């Protein structure tokens, strides 16, 4: 290890900052955030530090640095542009055995400032041993995105209840299991979604039942996995995917999305397989309930958004009736994903003032829809499950009054690397599609807006039209 990370408690302690330019101002901000009393030594100073000095937030000594300035301090930071001064600070600190940081000169530092992810009182520090500060900062950004905003609040809740938990659960192993349950289940989720009172109630209930032989309570996460590109997942979806014990997923969930589910979670496929039927809906509902009753965190992962042609509503109705706690996480629905990645705005001031999501599912030889309503002008039509009924849909729309020349596009495997877009008109689309081997899933978009794609397509670099 290049250096040992330690957290330095500075509240009420004196720190010396030599230099008062822009770089110094940044260090000053950090030292003050940690509650330090900062003694700034500099003949001149920038406006920001001048302002702070006027408000008594620091002690400003307007002259050159002297070694005795370090007396009584616990940390020295040099942030001047004069190498000789920086070296002098380093030397004086070393003589006193005091930790010292010299900005941008790792060889003169015994301590360095890491990149910080601050969820006070939780704090993550990332260092690169001075080798690549930019890399450390980029990693920080990634971790920022993964850690829920309210992580600190969760830690504060734990602090508040620690004495009670210690008094109530004597066995350290049981205590650890208790906290794991708090940090990875419903209580944490209540905090993350901004419901601290619910979290408190749940924590108290959990504590009251600790030691009893009650089975842990499972729960179900109904999560929208989006149309395929894993970058389109929400932060919440990803978090729940990574804490689930078991996942039930279907055909529409893409491989790269599935790969983000916790590695040791049990995976149960409930979609159709070639030649066989999908697991019937009542069976899926029963499985969700059984897993949750066994105390598991169950991820029900669906393509797109669970509440759009996803039967998500039916699944959670059953859960609600069975008294199983659940939460629903929206996903990017195929219409949004495919339209964006195909360069087709679904609404447009000049062409479409409304957009309609429709299932195009064929039953026998017909697609039974309200064609009159669908053939109204000024709207974009999006058909889910359109492939088998494609010719019928196009024909009926023309028969009910939409122009045969109206632009229409079939988006195949939208947002995935294999995406293809078949772009034509109501009169010609079915024939164009019939000439190609098309893979599910596909989505049909009909309306004037489809022609904007000529200028706005950006994702796929080849197209069969
Ligand atoms: N809940 C899903 C839709 C389920 S219905 C959602 O909100 O997107 C299944 C239909 O969704 C498919 O038949 C297809 O029409 C559409 N679909 C889902 N993902 C798609 C994708 N990546 N590309 C094209 N169509 C998609």
pLDDT of residue 463: 53
Residue nearest to atom 18 of ligand 1 (CA): 334
CB 66 within 8 A of CB 85: no
Is the same domain home to 445 and 387?
yes
Alpha-carbon span 450 to 445, nearest angstrom: 7
Q: Is the pLDDT of residue 99 over 80?
A: yes
Q: Which of 366, 436, 428, 357 lies closest to 394 in space, CA to CA?
A: 428
109 and 173 both lie in a single domain: no
- For the question of residue 250 being annotated catalytic, the response is yes
Q: What is the mean pLDDT of residues 429-445?
A: 97
- How far from the centroid of its chain's Cα atoms is residue 286's Cα? 30
pLDDT over 70 (residue 33): yes
User: Which pLDDT score, from 0 to 100, does residue 428 have?
Assistant: 98
pLDDT for 48-83, tens place per residue? 999 998 888 899 999 999 999 999 999 999 999 999
Question: Same structural domain for residues 375 and 411?
Answer: yes
Pocket of ligand 1 (CB under 6 A): 227-228, 252, 302-305, 308-310, 333-334, 338, 384-385, 411, 413-415, 441-443
Contact 226, 232 (CB under 8 A): yes
- What CATH number has the domain bearing residue 50? 3.40.50.720
Neighbours of 105 (CB within 10 A): 14
Q: 203 and 101 share a domain?
A: no
Q: Cα separation of 234 and 327, whole Å?
A: 14
Residue 465 placed within a domain: no
pLDDT digits (tens, 9 = 90+) for 241-259: 998 999 999 999 999 999 9
Mean of the pLDDT values across residues 109-138?
A: 91
> Pick from 329, 353, 372: which residue ends a domain?
329
306 CA: nearest ligand 1 atom: 1
The stretch 140-156 carries a mean pLDDT of: 93
Pocket test for ligand 1, best of 301, 443, 459, 460 (most atoms within 8 A of CB): 443
- Residue 165 is assigned to a structural domain of this protein: yes
Please tell me the distance between residue 304's alpha carbon and the centre of ligand 1 in angstroms: 6
What per-residue confidence (pLDDT) applies to 218?
Answer: 87
Burial class (CB in 10 A: 0-12, 13-18, 19+), 121: exposed
Q: How confident is the model at residue 462 (pLDDT cuts 50, 70, 90)?
A: low
Asked if residue 155 is part of any domain, the answer here is: yes
Same domain, 204 and 223: no
- In this predicted structure, the answer to whether residue 129 has a pLDDT above a threshold of 90 is no
Note down the domain range covering 55. Answer: 14-113
- In the chain, the number of structural domains is 4
Residue 224 shares a structural domain with residue 279: yes
364: pLDDT confidence band, cut at 50, 70 and 90? confident
Q: How far apart are CA 330 and CA 306, in angstroms?
A: 7
CA of 440 to the centre of ligand 1 (A): 9
Residues 301 and 259 in one domain: yes
Element (H, E) at 371: helix 371-374
Q: What are the two backbone dihedrals, phi and then psi, of residue 297, each rounded to the nearest 5 degrees?
A: -90, 110
Residue 421 in contact with residue 463, Cβ under 8 Å?
Answer: yes
pLDDT of the residue at 465: 53
pTM of the complete model: 0.80
Ligand 1 midpoint to CA 442 (Å): 7
Q: How far is residue 192's CA from residue 147's CA, in Å, rounded to a whole number?
A: 10
241 and 164 housed in the same domain? no
Confirm whether 272 is a catalytic residue. Answer: yes
Q: Which of 305, 329, 353 is the last residue of a domain?
A: 329
Average pLDDT score over the chain: 93
Q: How many residues does the chain have?
A: 465
| pLDDT reported for residue 464 | 53
Domain CATH code at residue 293 = 3.40.1010.10
315 with 366, same domain: the answer is no
**Residue 247: inside a domain, yes or no?**
yes
Cβ 271 vs Cβ 249: under 8 Å: yes
CA 444, CA 408: separation in Å to the nearest integer?
7
- For residues 364 and 451, which has the higher predicted lDDT (pLDDT)? 451
SS3 call for 123? strand
In a domain, 349, yes or no: yes
Query: Going by CA atoms, what residue is nearest to atom 5 of ligand 1?
Result: 309
Nearest to 394 by CA among 380, 382, 384, 404: 404
Helix, strand or coil, per DSSP, at residue 71: coil
Boundary-marking domain end, from 275, 296, 329: 329
Collapsing DSSP to helix, strand or coil, 106 comes out as: helix
In terms of DSSP bridges, do strands 115-119 and 122-126 run parallel, antiparallel, or are they unpaired? antiparallel
**177-233 tens-digit pLDDT:** 899 889 988 899 999 999 999 999 999 999 998 877 556 678 999 999 999 999 999
**Residue with the two structure tokens 């499972």:** 218
Based on the domain organization, do 234 and 260 belong to the same domain? yes
Tell me the CATH number at 426. Answer: 3.30.950.10
* Segment 309-359, tens digit of pLDDT: 998 988 999 999 999 999 999 999 999 999 999 999 999 999 999 999 999
Neighbours of 364 (CB within 10 A): 6
In a domain? residue 425: yes
**Cα(177)–Cα(182) distance, rounded to whole angstroms?**
9
Ligand 1 centroid–CA 142 distance in Å is 29
Instruction: Judge whether 255 lies within some domain.
Output: yes
Q: Which of 171, 272, 283, 368 is catalytic?
A: 272
Pair (82, 18) in one structural domain? yes
Classify residue 371: in a domain, yes or no. Answer: yes
Given this model, what pLDDT does residue 274 score? 55
Same domain, yes or no, for 228 and 300?
yes
Residue 303 banded pLDDT, cuts 50, 70, 90: very high
- Which pLDDT belongs to residue 163? 97
pLDDT tens across 411-428, in order?
999 999 999 999 999 999
Mean pLDDT, range 165-175, rounded to an integer: 92
């Amino acid at each position: 290890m290049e250096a040992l990370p330690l957290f330095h408690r500075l509240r009420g302690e004196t720190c010396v900052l030599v230099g008062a330019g822009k770089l110094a101002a940044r260090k000053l901000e950090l030292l003050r955030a940690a509650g330090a009393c900062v003694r700034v030594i500099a003949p001149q100073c920038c406006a920001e530090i001048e302002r702070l000095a006027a408000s008594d937030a620091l002690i400003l000594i307007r002259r050159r640095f002297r070694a005795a300035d370090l007396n009584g301090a616990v940390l020295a930071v040099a942030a001047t542009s004069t190498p000789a001064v920086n070296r002098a600070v380093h030397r004086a600190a070393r003589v006193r055995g005091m930790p010292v940081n010299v900005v941008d000169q790792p060889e003169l530092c015994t301590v360095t400032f890491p990149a910080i992810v601050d969820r006070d009182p939780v704090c993550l520090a990332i260092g690169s041993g001075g080798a690549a500060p930019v890399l450390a900062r980029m990693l920080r950004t990634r971790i920022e995105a993964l850690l829920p905003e309210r992580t600190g609040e969760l830690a504060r809740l734990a602090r508040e209840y620690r004495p009670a938990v210690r008094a109530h659960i004597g066995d350290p192993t049981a205590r650890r299991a208790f906290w794991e349950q708090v940090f990875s289940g419903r209580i944490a989720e209540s905090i993350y979604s901004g419901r601290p009172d619910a979290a408190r109630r749940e924590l108290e209930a959990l504590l009251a039942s600790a030691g009893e032989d009650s089975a842990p309570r499972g729960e179900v996460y109904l999560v929208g996995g989006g149309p395929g590109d894993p970058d389109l997942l929400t932060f919440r979806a990803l978090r729940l995917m990574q804490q689930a014990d078991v996942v039930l997923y279907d055909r529409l969930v893409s491989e790269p999305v599935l790969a983000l589910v916790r590695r040791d979670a049990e995976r149960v496929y409930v979609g159709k397989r070639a030649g066989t039927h999908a697991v019937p809906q009542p069976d899926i509902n029963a499985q969700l309930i059984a897993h949750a009753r066994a105390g598991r965190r169950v991820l029900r992962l669906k393509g797109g958004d669970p509440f759009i042609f996803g039967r998500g509503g039916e699944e959670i109705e059953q859960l609600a009736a069975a008294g199983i706690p659940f939460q629903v996480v929206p996903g990017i629905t195929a219409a949004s994903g495919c339209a964006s990645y195909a360069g087709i705005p679904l609404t447009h001031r000049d062409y479409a003032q409304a957009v309609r999501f429709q299932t195009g599912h064929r039953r026998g030889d017909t697609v039974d829809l309200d064609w009159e309503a669908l053939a109204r002008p000024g709207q974009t039509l999006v058909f889910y499950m359109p492939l088998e009924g494609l010719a019928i849909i196009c024909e009926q729309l023309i028969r009910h009054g939409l122009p045969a020349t109206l632009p229409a596009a079939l988006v195949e495997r939208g947002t995935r690397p294999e995406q293809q877009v078949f772009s034509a008109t109501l009169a010609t689309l079915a024939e164009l599609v019939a000439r190609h081997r098309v893979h599910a899933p596909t989505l049909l978009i009909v309306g004037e807006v489809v022609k904007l794609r000529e200028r706005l397509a950006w994702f796929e670099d080849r197209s069969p039209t």
